[in-house]
A and B are shown apart, each in its own frame.
Chain A
Amino acid sequence: MIISFILVISAIMVVAGRHILHSAFYLAATLLCVAMYFILLRAEYLAAVQILVYIGSIVVLILFALMMTRTKVGHRTNISNNQRIFAALVALALFVCLTLVFYNAKIDTVADNVSNLKIISIKEFANILFSGYTLPFEVASVLLLAALVGSVVLAMKEKTDEESSGDDPEKESAGIANVDAEKKESK
């Protein structure tokens, strides 16, 4: 229950914070709480992977991009009021509908309580990943290659009279995220 409090408060601070740098760090706190949920749900490998890949490369990549777009330090008011109210109403309506659907759905669960969950060892996880899901695994590595090439091409400077042929920090940070995801894939 404590984890859910921290999660909801961090998530609200992500979307309602004034300064974007604070929101990025609150996103890291939210992702940490999600990893704690994974440990609670007996998915320890997924928790470690998420901390490594999500917090370790995606949040870092976002911080790099914030540095490069030169966000101003200081307070700024964000939007006009009527859009905020409509968006809050839409989000609240979606949450109510989803919770009603989940509450009334008859899902036959194997275990009733979270402490009765079965513990799956990582050996079985690796078995299932590499025997049943080999094709998505290979496709995911091709996707990573495509995303790496694509983000490098998109972030390159245009060739002007000076000899600027690429944008090295962005290439580096795009490479960091993809190398981390590839390391996790090849584990």
Chain B
Amino acid sequence: MQFISGLELKLVYFLAVSAILFGIGLYGVLTRRHLVHILLSVELILNAVLINLVAFSAFVTPEKLTGQMFAVFLIVVAACEVGVGLAIILSVYRRRKTVDVDNINILKW
């Protein structure tokens, strides 16, 4: 890999990238109106955490691979969560005939 050996990529760079992604995902969760959009932003947050974990695993404990194991199980959990979340969204759509978060406010006082 000679073409990337000229760049100085320390650990902080990967952590900063993961923080950027987390911030963008958080902005998406807080400001979107469509339910599936919120789920997309939650997936973005999860991927930020994945980059963080794998960066730590590569730089701090390369032999024990702790971060990569955590990342594998996190991918499994994210798949389950998206499946169940989309089933919930489908049920909500069938009940209320809308996927606009502002219109789903029965419990709001």
Contact = CB atoms under 8 A, between A and B. Distances in A.
A163 to B, nearest CB: 18
A123 B35 CA distance: 41
Interface in A21-64: 23-24, 27, 30-31, 34, 37-38, 40-43, 45-46, 49-50, 53-54, 57-58, 61-62, 64
Contacts of A57: 79
Contacts of A125: 65, 68
B69 A102 contact: no
Interface residues on chain B, size class: 35 or more
A168 interface: no
Residue from B33, B37, B55 with most neighbouring chain A CB atoms (10 Å): B37
Given A37-B51, A43-B58, A91-B27, A107 B11 contact: yes
A68 B90 contact: yes
Given A27-B40, A27-B44, A61-B83, 18 more contacts: A11-B21, A11-B44, A20-B37, A30-B47, A41-B57, A42-B58, A43-B68, A45-B68, A58-B79, A65-B86, A102-B15, A110-B61, A115-B1, A125-B68, A128-B65, A136-B69, A147-B80, A154-B87
A46 B71 contact: yes
A151 B37 CA distance: 19
Contacts of B51: 34, 37-38
B82 A62 contact: yes
Given A102-B12, A110-B60, A181 B65 contact: no
A42 B9 CA distance: 14
Contacts of B30: 83, 86-87, 90-91
A111 B8 CA distance: 12
A24 B36 CA distance: 9
Given A23-B40, A34-B50, A61-B83, A78 B90 contact: no
Contacts of A88: 27
B91 A155 contact: yes
Interface string B33-72: 1111101110110010011001101111111110011011
Interface of A: 1, 4, 7-8, 11-12, 14-15, 20, 23-24, 27, 30-31, 34, 37-38, 40-43, 45-46, 49-50, 53-54, 57-58, 61-62, 64-66, 68-69, 71, 78-79, 83-84, 86-88, 90-92, 94-95, 98-99, 102-103, 107-115, 117-118, 120, 124-125, 128-129, 132-133, 136, 140, 143-144, 146-148, 150-152, 154-155, 157, 167, 170, 173-174, 177-178, 180-181, 184-185
